[in-house]
Amino acid sequence: MSDEKKYWIGLNLVKGIGAVRFQQIKNYFGDLSLAWKAPAESYKDAGLPGRVINNFLQLRKQIDLDQLYESILEKDISVLTLLDDDYPHLLKEIDQSPPVIYVKGTLTPADEFAVAIVGTRRVSDYGQQITRDASIYLAGHGLTIVSGLARGVDGIAHRHALEAGGRTIAVLGSGVDVIYPPEHRKLAEAISENGAVISDYPLGTQPEGINFPPRNRIISGLSLATIVVEAGDRSGALITADFALEQGRDVFAVPGNVLSPASRGTNRLIQNGAYAMISPQDVLDVLNLSELESIKTARQVLPANSTEARILQVMDFEPMHIDEICNGVGLAVEKVSAALTMMELKGLVQHVGAMRYAVVREFS
């Protein structure tokens, strides 16, 4: 067992400690084992409010971290922290990445190529057809489908991604051991066998309304793009689209009847600059993923050595300064610069100016 990981789990349980305060604690104490064992005065010095300190001190008296971690593993649930190599790369890029995520199932490198499909719970026949067709088409072309396991568009997207033989990820607003809605328990089991059910909420967390808007940032954060099928004026799917835009990810919306309440949100997204998804092929075209299988194969075989492989792991399609890349791989700038030069010749990366580099979406 990772001694460090159990402290991440413990702090994740404290009410009032989210991504920002978690980082605040980590910056102050450095070692989370020291943070867990620290006296209340140290938490005051770290800048935490009194109510959060009281929550922490009370929780620390009540739980045994070793027993807690063992009980999680016994349920075939894995725990990933920001320090883990297999923590989702796309999710790590966003602001305030969840420090801890619980995973029922398996996340794989293939999930780096993912799109979110979200929408209303009260989906129309038109929305059902679009969701089905898009999920089958995109999953069939190698994209992982991400959604929230809710009734309506979410459930349809998951089911038809599985039907296409693809992978899908469900992000919950509860613990991964508390499936909501309850009629989706069998669907959740199927997803965990062909993808993953994940959450940043501790096990046992119930599906309260306040949990769902924050989890939407994870849906978009795991995805290269978010597709909104149908959404009313106050749909949670619009929150997911807003998060996607804040994260610098593409947003697609399905045009709908201007008289339909279910299409008001999507039509407004298009009016405000979102891509109109007329066909699921539009998504592949905009993301330059029409030859996705070839891209996946190229990313596996083209790195000539461990340095190139490490650089590809930390880079993304968005430009990164060479200093950021050096920090990510822990290598000197001379070594990274030489590797980037060779990778550019191979078509793995491109120099976009000002010492910034980006991964090429389609390797030649």
Q: Which residues contact 37 (CB under 8 A, 6 or more apart)?
A: none
CA distance 258 to 50: 51
Can you give the pLDDT at residue 242?
A: 96
The percent of residues above 70 in pLDDT, for the chain, comes to 94
Burial class (CB in 10 A: 0-12, 13-18, 19+), 215: buried
Please report, for residues 62, 147, 285, the alpha-carbon distance to residue 279 in angstroms, rounded to integers and kept in the order given: 54, 19, 10
- The DSSP code for 27 is H
Name the CATH code of domain 292-359 (choices 3.90.780.10, 3.40.50.300, 1.10.10.10, 2.10.109.10).
1.10.10.10
Find, among 153, 149, 145, the residue nearest to 120 by Cα. 153
Cis before residue 49, ω within 30 degrees of 0? Answer: no
Tell me the domain boundaries of the chain.
Answer: 3-74, 105-287, 292-359
Which regions in the chain score pLDDT beneath 50? 1, 363-364
144, 168 Cβ separation under 8 angstroms: yes
Query: Any idea which architecture 105-287 has in CATH?
Result: 3-Layer(aba) Sandwich (3.40)
Query: Which residue matches tokens 């293939």?
Result: 110
200-224: per-residue pLDDT in tens?
999 999 999 999 999 999 999 999 9
In the predicted model, what is the mean pLDDT of the chain? 91
Q: What is the pLDDT of residue 364?
A: 35
- Residue at token pair 């104490």: 29
**Largest Cα–Cα separation, the chain:** 60
Strands 225-228 and 195-199 come out as unpaired
Q: Is 243 left (phi over 0), alpha (psi -120 to 50) or beta?
A: alpha
- The reported pLDDT for the residue numbered 197 is 98
DSSP state of 59: H
From residue 285, how far is each of 77, 229, 291 by CA, in Å?
36, 18, 10
Tokens matching residue 140: 């069939």
pLDDT given at position 351: 87
